[in-house]
């Protein structure tokens, strides 16, 4: 059984691409000025856009392929550039961690715990996302054989 959690090709990924294109279009006047300030700020603006584009273009995906957990960084979500694999024996349990935020909705993290931690995914902590995260944690628990620590259970 394969289980994959990926960011690429979701609506927010495409929205981020549109924002990068809009930011590039918006910064065009910085390139046309003859002053040093225009050139400096233009160089800075487009350097930051290039960095953001690289981060956007190499999204990570986490998954279970039936033998090991993996995290892959893929160029445009298609071509694998780097992959890290972890045997389920490296972990002792699966937990859902809730992170409280002061000014926005809380986050929930699906984490494999053990000698090291492996974050499988995170979402905003709305009711639908909490149910989705718990169902995914149960599915991963069944697939990997690791126990799922119920939300609210004591850490041990």
pLDDT, tens digit (0-9, with 9 covering 90-100), for 65-85: 888 999 999 999 899 999 999
* pLDDT at position 156: 44
Q: Look up the pTM and report it.
A: 0.75
What is the spatial distance between Cα 136 and Cα 153, in angstroms, rounded to a whole number? 18
Domain 59-149 class in CATH: mainly beta
Identify the band that residue 102 occupies on the pLDDT scale cut at 50, 70 and 90.
Answer: confident
Task: Write the Ramachandran bin of 9: left for phi over 0, alpha for psi from -120 to 50, otherwise beta.
Answer: left
* pLDDT at position 51: 96
> How confident is the prediction for the chain on average, in pLDDT?
86
């Amino acid at each position: 059984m394969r289980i994959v959690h990926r960011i690429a090709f979701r609506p927010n990924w495409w929205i981020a691409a549109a924002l990068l294109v809009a930011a590039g279009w918006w910064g065009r006047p910085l390139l046309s000025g003859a002053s040093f300030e225009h050139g400096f700020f233009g160089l800075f603006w487009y350097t930051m856009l290039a960095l953001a584009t690289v981060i956007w273009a190499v999204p990570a995906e986490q998954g279970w392929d039936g033998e090991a957990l993996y995290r892959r960084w893929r160029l445009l979500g298609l071509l694998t550039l780097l992959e890290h694999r972890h045997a389920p024996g490296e972990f002792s349990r699966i937990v859902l961690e809730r992170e409280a935020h002061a000014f926005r909705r809380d986050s929930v993290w699906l984490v494999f715990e053990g000698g090291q931690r492996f974050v499988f995914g995170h979402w905003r902590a709305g009711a639908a996302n909490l149910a989705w995260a718990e169902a995914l944690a149960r599915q991963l628990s069944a697939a990997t054989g690791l126990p799922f620590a119920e939300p609210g259970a004591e850490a041990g």
